[in-house]
Amino acid sequence: MAANTYLQVSELDFSEIRSNLKTYLESQTALKDYDFEGSVMSTLLDVLSYNTHYNAYYLNMVANEMFLDTAQQRDSVVSRAKELGYTPVSSVGATAEIEITFSGVESGFAQVIIPKNSKFTTTVDDVTYTFVTPQAEKVDADINGAFKKSIIIKEGEPLSHSWTASASNPVRYIIPNSGVDTSSITVSVQESSSDDTVTEFKLASNINQVYSTSAVYFIEETADRKYEIIFGSGSLGKSIKAGNIVTVNYLVNNANATNGASTFSVDSINLNAPYDSATITKVVSKANGGREQETVESIKFAAPRNYQTQNRAVIAGDYERIILNENADLQSVVAFGGEEASPPQNGKVLIAAKPFNEKFLTTSRKASLKDSISDRTPLAVDPVIIDGDYTYLIPRITTFYDLTKSSLTESAVEADILNQISEYSTNNLQRFGNKFRYSRFVRTLDNAAGGYIMNNDAKISMQKRITPNTEAVTSVEILFNNAIRPSTVTSTQFTYNGFTANLDDDGSGNLRIFRYTDDNTIVIIDTNAGTIDYNSGRLFLPNFALTAYADLELKITVTPENLDVNPVREQVLLMEPNDAIITVIGEQT
């Protein structure tokens, strides 16, 4: 049979499908009324076209959901990511570090144990949230017999769910709650209701180390944002037998709802020793790091990249991606080989991390970060977690705005300039590798005050804030890592040889310590207190013997030679509105 050239099947839209059907009907004479809207033929054409269009749309959507790039449904994206060996990150409750002190502990106990899931509470916006200890903590009595320790607590409600395995009716171990923090999951398997032998199963993080007897479980996200525990088949991981009782303990969290919480109270602690009271004596670090379950967009971005690295930390980017992906409390991470450090540290990978809303990680947090990455690094490579090196940019801005066009007061313009500085800092600085680009900064300022700024004269200084030892003579090295304009070093006041002194440079590479007399005359106390390399931006004070300094930190300020400032390695640029010096001048044009 010859092909019917009147029948076009390439269109997908309703109107085009209908038009093709009409074209086809034009080739026959038995039924002619297809052109009139009231005819039965016209109604039939509508139904046929609608049906065809519906199927075409449906098939298009089905095809879209089959690929990671085009899938829209979360379940489809998760399923595609699963093929790449990627498990989306679950929501995580905020973590805080508190110092807890027990009083009245019965004598005879040299150590007490705070059990896992001991409860604490905090209130945010009139809602009370539960924090728990994610693991048991041992507290030793100090030399005075006091029981005091800094511990990590994590937001979440501890829950438990059990299933009994059955051969005839296979069980899917889907955790019934949403908002589960997968890092909090523990899995135990009891032999049977009559045999109370319990085996703890661990998360299989490295498939190469899973054998037929390995008591491991796998975890996958399943429908409706829930998680499913998968057990081994018997050859790859120990299998579950009929009659086994599987118990899963986990935390159900409120994601980022408690970020920033800084007041906690003890709810219930069943210590192994009788005691009078438990008091939170200090909040070492307020709650942070709570975050929502990974979004569809993030899964689409991360899954292929995770596949590329095969979950191994080999190059610098691997460390950054893995650590950032697994730690919601970190804003920015940078990793580099120890040979690039100053001084070089061969055989090490240095990883600097900046938490959200904080500048430094606690010692325990650094240790946990190191543990989390250690099993994925090449042999003979030692990961070292270091703090960021913060350089503050101090803007001095003179703003001229048009009085004839703007009714804003000078203070309102100043407030807007401060907002722009804050916004610029949030969006363009505060992360490793983010450069300060002068022209962009000035452009941001020019857009303040509704566009009525005529021009901004912005001058930028770089500042380091250090806490030098006041008890002993120490060497101090300060690295700006950017060229410094000679004769621009200044500092806040400090006490040196009994004088209130300051630091400056002589323009020839020497750092000097000087003081002011009562009539404001400068008297040099030490003409050669240290050296300054104007090209590399390095200040070195080999024997800095100050005995006190003003405020909490000693601030040393220089003017960069160039307008732009480039941070290197672990250096982070910060610009805080409080440091800005702003002069606003209204002009009649």
Partner 1 sequence: MPNHSNGAKLKVREIYSDVDLGFFAHPVTGNVSKKTNREAVRQSVKSLILTDYYDRPFKPNIGCGIRYYLFEMFTPAVKQQMESAIRETIANHEPRADIINVLVEERQDVHALVVSVAFMIINDPDPVVLDIILERVR
Report how far residue 89's alpha carbon sits from residue 295's, in angstroms, rounded to the nearest whole number.
9
- Give min distance, CB of 11 to partner 1, in A: 14
CA distance 167 to 163: 13
Contacts of 349 (CB under 8 A, 6+ apart): 313, 316, 319, 335, 336, 337, 338, 377, 381, 382, 383, 384
Return the closest-CA partner of residue 148 out of 137, 158, 156. Answer: 137
Report residue 467 CA to chain centroid gap: 27
Question: Residue 44 or 585: which CB sits closer to partner 1?
Answer: 44
* Minimal distance, residue 50 CB to partner 1, in Å: 4
Question: C-beta of 52: minimal distance to partner 1 in Å?
Answer: 11
CB nearer partner 1, residue 39 or residue 121: 39
Of the candidates 288, 289, 307, the residue with the CA atom closest to the CA atom of residue 299: 307
Closer to partner 1 by CB, 50 or 301: give it: 50
> For binding to partner 1 (CB under 8 A), which residues are involved?
14-15, 30-33, 36-41, 43-44, 46-47, 49-50
Structure tokens at 63: 């095809």
Sheet bearing 216-221, strands edge to edge: 157-164, 245-252, 180-190, 198-203, 216-221, 227-231, 173-174
* Phi-psi map region of 464: left, alpha, beta (phi>0 left; psi -120 to 50 alpha): beta
The least distance separating partner 1 from the CB of residue 37, rounded to whole angstroms, comes to: 4
* SS3 of the chain: helix, strand, coil, percent, to 5: 25, 35, 40
Strands (E), 15-118: 95-103, 111-114
CB of 29 to partner 1, least distance (A): 8
* Of 44 and 223, CB closest to partner 1: 44
Nearer to partner 1, 51 or 374 (CB): 51
Q: How far is the CB of 54 from partner 1 (least distance, A)?
A: 9
Comparing CB distances to partner 1, the nearer of 16 and 267 is 16
Only one residue has tokens 């029981």, namely: 147
For residue 32, the minimal CB distance to partner 1 (Å) is 5
Cβ distance to partner 1 smaller for residue 33 or 195: 33
Q: From the CB of 21, what's the least distance to partner 1, in Å?
A: 14
Q: Which of 19/150 has CB closer to partner 1?
A: 19
Sign of the CA dihedral running 258, 264, 268, 272: positive
Residue 36: CB minimum distance to partner 1, A: 6
Which has the closest alpha carbon to 543: 555, 534, 531? 531
CA distances from 148 to 103, 136, 211, 275, 366 (A): 9, 15, 42, 13, 21
Among left, alpha and beta (phi > 0; psi -120 to 50; other), residue 331 is: alpha
96 vs 100: CA distance, rounded Å: 12
Amino acid at 80: R
Instruction: Between 39 and 101, name the residue whose CB sits nearer to partner 1.
Output: 39
Cβ at position 24, least distance to partner 1 in Å: 16
The rounded distance, in Å, linking the Cα atoms of 277 and 302 is: 47
Looking at the Cβ atoms of 31 and 284, the one nearer to partner 1 is 31
Query: Please, what is the minimum distance in Å from the beta carbon of residue 8 to partner 1?
Result: 18
Count of beta carbons in the 10 Å neighbourhood of residue 200: 9
Cα-trace Rg, the chain = 33
Cβ nearer to partner 1, comparing 34 with 534: 34
